[in-house]
């Protein structure tokens, strides 16, 4: 398994030319799992949910929550509409994986979403894709049209009494719409203000009806599990966080890009073996393992660290979206952190005071430090601001804004101390 | 002189199709704003009013939505809007140098439009192409990746001749290196 990663053959984006085409996908076993689930009486909706739960597919959108467990929260069908909102907002800096599925294997996702729909008695799937992905939205729409034409979507699929619709919805430039309740507001044609929870989406989601939100990559894993079983899936990668994953690797690296490998890959293998090392043979100064909100790790903290939830938690960070940013020894962490704080300030929806004002203060303070006008006490101010933001808001954006600040300032303090004025205050 | 904006019969037919995808009348606002922006190049106050009338919604609601989302152009923009990503992966790979180079070439700053109305420049957040940094997007459309000054020159030359650069399919690295 893990030691065999060099012979790993991608499953989500296999090496098959033109797999995005319906005929090629079908020729390679596509939609067979949907057929199996819909026509084999052994596969009741409960059984499908249980297989996915047992496989322990953990959400690839950032939080790593068990997909099957989430599905099991859906209430019993009452004859009214029920929805899946498939999250392709993909706006967390460092993340560029779901678009590979839209481009290279859209039908795997569609098949997975329909199977999930069957498991939860869903009537319609809304695929929310960030508006900037215009070209990928068109690719996805084409794949959805093809699936309708073949009778995999629509009324009475494959002659059964199961019917489901799928609609592609374009965002229009708002990171916050990746947050699940904001995404639902956006789908309902409103400003993307996150909702207060409870009620949770399974009770009261889209248009007040039961809804499950899953990431695109999460749903693309479903046909693999149905085909090969949960035991097979659990044997891939890390024990507590199994399966294939699309690692998005960017920054000061020789061969950046998206790579599919099992979870639990050694960070050092990904950097050195897969991506050909750091540019110019330099040392790693920092790794941001899973998108801008995951705490940066120092280069000297990476030994033995693996890309799975447990290993990264022990190391002091999180798996997030597996969008890994590698920064070399010449990077100025003050500049880096200022740019991250600008992002969160720009993207705060402004509903909660700690977030609206906090992200603004963080950015302002970092500009001051960046311009050489900061003082030593501003570093404590930054940490203080983080404490005032964490866990006090409607959604997790405020936490996502605070974590990189907290851990960049504490783990790379020397960069900050170098930039601030050494004002000495007399004790009163 | 103010322009009057109207939807054609074909547009209205398209709008009916959009409405059929959603269970209530508020929800189609975003796709209809997109349709309007594709047609008129922007969604200024007058276009927003047209969208509100067409969908039978209060203008204040459409205004609220249009202003929340950055991709809707609330005023007229240059014919080509150059969005340079300066978020952290791109920043690390020299995005600000690219941004400043484009600013110098066009003689305007980010947030501005050239006097001839041909180009606008914006510095934007992560566009989901971090491994192909630095990069830019043209008018909510095509992505141009792996930018160098030379590549920027080629892109700007094309745009000056009203030619849109082509979609770049970036091969999946494991596919090109896979052993048979
Ligand atoms: C501010 C914020 C932004 C988010 N952006 C995304 C996103 O772009 N894509 C995504 O799949 N999940 C995003 N999430 C997580 C979603 O809220 C949700 O947990 C996820 O889509 C659930 O799918 P999963 O369980 O399959 O991962 C975001 C969360 C927050 C708080
Ligand atoms: S935490 Fe920030 S982004 Fe989330 S709802 Fe509050 S203000 Fe909006
Ligand atoms: S940081 Fe520029 S595309 Fe993601």
Asked which of A4-8, A165-169, B44-48, B127-131 is least confident by mean pLDDT, the reply is: A4-8
- Give SS3 for A341: helix
Whether residues B59 and B129 share a domain: the answer is no
Residue at B74 is within a domain: no
pLDDT of A3 > 70? The answer is no
From CA A265, how far away is CA A18, in angstroms rounded?
28
Q: What is the CATH number of the domain that holds B41?
A: 1.10.10
Ligand 2 near A398 CB (within 6 A): yes
Does A172 sit within 8 Å of B34, measured CB to CB?
Answer: yes
Whether residues B97 and B52 share a domain: the answer is no
Q: What angle do CA B66, A129, A48 make, to 5 degrees?
A: 135
Q: Which ligand 3 atom sits nearest the alpha carbon of residue B88?
A: 1
Strand order in the sheet with A124-129: A165-170, A124-129, A83-88, A211-215
Give the residue-averaged pLDDT of A16-37.
Answer: 98
DSSP A144-199: HHHHHHTTSSBSSGGGSS--BEEEEEE--S-GGGGSHHHHHHHHTTS--PPPPSSS
Range of the domain at B36: 9-68
Q: Which of A95, A169, A343 sits opposite B128 (nearest CB)?
A: A95
pLDDT at B48: 98
Residue at B93 is within a domain: yes
Write out residues 136-155 of B within 8 Å (CB-CB) of A. 137, 140-143
Handedness of CA B55, B58, B59, B64 (dihedral sign): negative
On the 0-12 / 13-18 / 19+ scale of CB atoms within 10 A, A371 is exposed
Q: What is the CATH number of the domain that holds B100?
A: 3.40.30.10
Residue at B173 is within a domain: no
Give the residue-averaged pLDDT of A311-334.
Answer: 98
Helix axis angle for B45-55 and B29-40, nearest 10°, is 130
Does B70 sit within 8 Å of A174, measured CB to CB?
Answer: yes
CB A126 within 8 A of CB A171: no
Model pLDDT for residues A163-192, shown as the tens digit of each residue: 999 999 999 999 999 999 999 999 999 999
CB A18 within 8 A of CB A146: no
For ligand 3, residues with CB inside 6 Å are: A 93; B 85, 87-90, 126-130, 133, 135
Whether residues B103 and B130 share a domain: the answer is yes
How many A/B residue pairs have CB atoms within 8 Å? 162
Ligand nearest to the CA of A360: 2
A191 close to B (CB below 8 A): yes
Nearest to A121 by CA among A83, A160, A177, A176: A83
DSSP chain B: -PPP----HHHHHHHHHHHTTSSSSSTTHHHHHHHHHHHHSS--HHHHHHHHHHHT--HHHHHHHHHHSTTS-SS---SEEEEEE-SHHHHHTTHHHHHHHHHHHHT--TT-B-TTS-EEEEEES--S-GGG-S-EEETTS-EE-S--HHHHHHHHHHHHTTPPPPP-PPPPHHHHH---
pLDDT at B178: 47
Residue at B179 is within a domain: no
Share of chain A above pLDDT 70, in %: 98
From CA A387, how far away is CA A399, in angstroms rounded?
9
Nearest to A202 by CA among A223, A180, A217: A180
In a mutational test of the B interface, the residue from A206, A250, A295 whose CB has the highest number of chain B CBs within 10 Å is A250
Give the residue-averaged pLDDT of A208-230.
Answer: 98
CB A253 within 8 A of CB A273: no
CB B114 within 8 A of CB B77: no
Whether residues B92 and B153 share a domain: the answer is yes
Whether residues B61 and B93 share a domain: the answer is no
For the CA atoms of chain B, what is the radius of gyration?
19
Give the residue-averaged pLDDT of A406-419.
Answer: 97
From CA A382, how far away is CA A377, in angstroms rounded?
9
| Distance in Å from the first CA to the final CA of chain A | 63
Whether residues B86 and B61 share a domain: the answer is no
B151 C-alpha vs ligand 1 centroid, how far in Å?
Answer: 34
pLDDT at B179: 45
Does B72 sit within 8 Å of A173, measured CB to CB?
Answer: yes
Model pLDDT for residues A138-162, shown as the tens digit of each residue: 999 999 999 999 999 999 999 999 9
From CA A265, how far away is CA A400, in angstroms rounded?
24
Whether residues B96 and B32 share a domain: the answer is no
Confidence of residue A422 (pLDDT cuts 50, 70, 90): confident
Rounded to whole angstroms, what are the CA distances from B165 to A251, B132, B136, B153, B156?
25, 16, 12, 12, 10
How many residues in chain B? 180
Which ipTM was obtained for this model? 0.96
Using CA positions, which residue lies closest to atom 10 of ligand 1?
A61
Nearest to A245 by CA among A259, A256, A226: A259
Whether residues B29 and B53 share a domain: the answer is yes
Confidence of residue B3 (pLDDT cuts 50, 70, 90): confident
Rounded to whole angstroms, what are the CA distances from A224 to A13, A35, A108, A166?
12, 14, 9, 21
Domain boundary among B21, B48, B68: B68
Using CA positions, which residue lies closest to atom 4 of ligand 2?
A395
Q: Which residues pair with A215 in a beta bridge?
A: A87
Handedness of CA B25, B26, B28, B29 (dihedral sign): positive
Residue at B2 is within a domain: no
- Å from A123 to nearest chain B CA? 12
Does B87 sit within 8 Å of A292, measured CB to CB?
Answer: yes
Residue at B156 is within a domain: yes
- Give SS3 for A210: coil
Q: What average pLDDT does chain A have?
A: 96
For ligand 3, mutation pick of B84, B93, B127 (most atoms within 8 Å of CB): B127
Assessment of whether the complete model's pTM goes beyond 0.95: yes
A160 C-alpha vs ligand 3 centroid, how far in Å?
Answer: 44
- Å from B21 to nearest chain A CA? 7
- Å from A90 to nearest chain B CA? 7
Model pLDDT for residues A269-290, shown as the tens digit of each residue: 999 999 999 999 999 999 999 9
Confidence of residue B76 (pLDDT cuts 50, 70, 90): very high
- Give SS3 for A240: coil
From CA A164, how far away is CA A120, in angstroms rounded?
11
Whether residues B91 and B140 share a domain: the answer is yes
What is the phi/psi pair of residue A185, to 5°? -60, -40
Whether residues B108 and B57 share a domain: the answer is no
Confidence of residue A4 (pLDDT cuts 50, 70, 90): confident
B94 C-alpha vs ligand 1 centroid, how far in Å?
Answer: 28
For ligand 3, mutation pick of B94, B131, B133, B145 (most atoms within 8 Å of CB): B133
Residue at B96 is within a domain: yes
From CA A329, how far away is CA A298, in angstroms rounded?
10
A313 close to B (CB below 8 A): no
Write out residues 20-39 of B within 8 Å (CB-CB) of A. 21-24, 26-31, 33-34
Ligand 2 near A356 CB (within 6 A): yes
Q: Over the range A71-88, which residues count as b (16 or more CB within 10 Å of their CB) and which as e?
A: bbebeeeeeebbbbbbbb
Using CA positions, which residue lies closest to atom 8 of ligand 2?
A349
Give the residue-averaged pLDDT of B96-100.
Answer: 98
From CA A350, how far away is CA A91, in angstroms rounded?
18
pLDDT of A427 > 90? The answer is no
From CA B128, how far away is CA B105, in angstroms rounded?
26
From CA A227, how far away is CA A112, in angstroms rounded?
11
Residue at B53 is within a domain: yes
Whether residues B90 and B140 share a domain: the answer is yes
From CA B3, how far away is CA B6, in angstroms rounded?
10
pLDDT at A263: 97
Domain boundary among B68, B88, B107: B68
Half-sphere exposure of A12 (CA within 13 A, CB side): 30
Does B71 sit within 8 Å of A175, measured CB to CB?
Answer: no
A421 CA to centre of own chain: 39
CB A116 within 8 A of CB A84: yes
Whether residues B61 and B102 share a domain: the answer is no
- Å from A428 to nearest chain B CA? 42
Domain total for chain B?
A: 2
Model pLDDT for residues A42-89, shown as the tens digit of each residue: 999 999 999 999 999 999 999 999 999 999 999 999 999 999 999 999
Write out residues 107-126 of B within 8 Å (CB-CB) of A. 125-126
């Amino acid at each position: 398994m893990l030691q065999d990663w060099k012979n790993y053959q991608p499953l989500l984006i296999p090496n098959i030319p033109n797999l995005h085409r319906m005929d090629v996908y079908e020729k390679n076993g596509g939609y067979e799992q949907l057929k199996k689930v819909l026509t084999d009486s052994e596969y009741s909706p409960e059984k499908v949910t249980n297989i996915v739960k047992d496989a322990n597919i953990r959400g690839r959108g950032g939080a790593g929550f068990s997909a099957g467990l989430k599905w099991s929260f859906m209430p019993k069908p009452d004859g009214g509409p029920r929805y899946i909102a498939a999250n392709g907002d993909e706006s967390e800096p460092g993340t560029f994986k779901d678009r590979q599925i839209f481009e290279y294997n859209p039908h795997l996702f569609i098949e997975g979403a329909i199977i999930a729909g069957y498991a939860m008695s869903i009537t319609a799937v809304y695929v929310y894709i960030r508006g900037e992905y215009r070209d990928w939205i068109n690719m996805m729409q084409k794949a959805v049209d093809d699936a309708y034409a073949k009778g995999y979507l629509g009324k009475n699929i494959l002659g059964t009494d199961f019917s489901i619709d799928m609609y592609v919805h374009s965002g229009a430039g708002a990171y916050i719409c990746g947050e699940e309740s904001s995404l639902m507001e956006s789908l309902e044609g409103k400003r993307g203000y996150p909702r207060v929870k409870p009620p949770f989406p399974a009770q009261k989601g889209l248009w007040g009806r039961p809804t499950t939100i899953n990431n695109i990559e999460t749903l693309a894993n479903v046909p693999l599990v149905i085909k090969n079983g949960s035991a097979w899936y659990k044997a891939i990668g890390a024990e507590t966080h199994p399966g294939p994953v699309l690692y998005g690797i960017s920054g000061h690296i020789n061969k950046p890009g998206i790579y599919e490998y099992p979870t639990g890959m050694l960070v050092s293998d990904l950097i050195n073996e897969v991506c050909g090392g750091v540019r110019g043979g330099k040392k790693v100064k920092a790794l941001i393992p899973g998108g801008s909100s995951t705490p940066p790790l120092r280069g000297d903290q990476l030994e033995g660290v693996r890309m799975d939830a447990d290993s990264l938690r022990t190391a002091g960070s999180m798996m997030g979206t597996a969008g890994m940013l590698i920064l070399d020894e010449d990077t100025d962490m003050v500049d880096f952190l200022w740019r991250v704080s600008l992002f969160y300030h720009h993207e705060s929806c402004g509903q909660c005071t700690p977030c609206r004002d906090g992200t603004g203060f963080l950015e302002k303070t970092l500009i001051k430090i960046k311009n050489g006008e900061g003082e030593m006490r501003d570093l404590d101010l930054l940490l203080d601001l983080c404490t005032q933001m964490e866990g006090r808001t409607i959604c997790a954006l405020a936490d996502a804004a605070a974590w990189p600040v907290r851990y960049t300032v504490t783990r790379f303090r020397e960069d900050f101390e170098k930039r601030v004025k050494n004002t000495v205050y007399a004790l009163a | 002189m103010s322009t009057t904006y109207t939807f054609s019969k074909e547009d209205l037919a398209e709008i009916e199709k959009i409405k059929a995808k959603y269970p209530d009348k508020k929800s189609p606002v975003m796709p209809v704003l997109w349709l309007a922006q594709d047609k008129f190049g922007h969604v200024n106050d007058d276009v927003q009013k047209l969208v509100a009338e067409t969908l039978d919604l209060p203008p204040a609601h459409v205004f609220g939505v249009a202003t929340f989302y950055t991709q809707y152009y609330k005023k007229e923009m240059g014919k080509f809007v150059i969005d340079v990503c300066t978020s952290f992966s791109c920043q690390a790979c020299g995005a600000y140098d690219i941004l400043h180079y484009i600013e110098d070439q066009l003689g305007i700053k980010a947030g501005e439009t050239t006097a001839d109305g041909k180009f606008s420049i914006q510095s934007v957040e992560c566009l989901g192409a971090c491994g192909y940094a630095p990069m830019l997007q043209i008018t909510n459309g095509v992505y141009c990746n792996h930018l160098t000054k030379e590549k920027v020159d080629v892109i700007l030359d094309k745009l000056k001749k009203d030619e849109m650069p082509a979609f770049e399919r970036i091969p999946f690295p494991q596919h090109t290196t896979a052993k048979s």
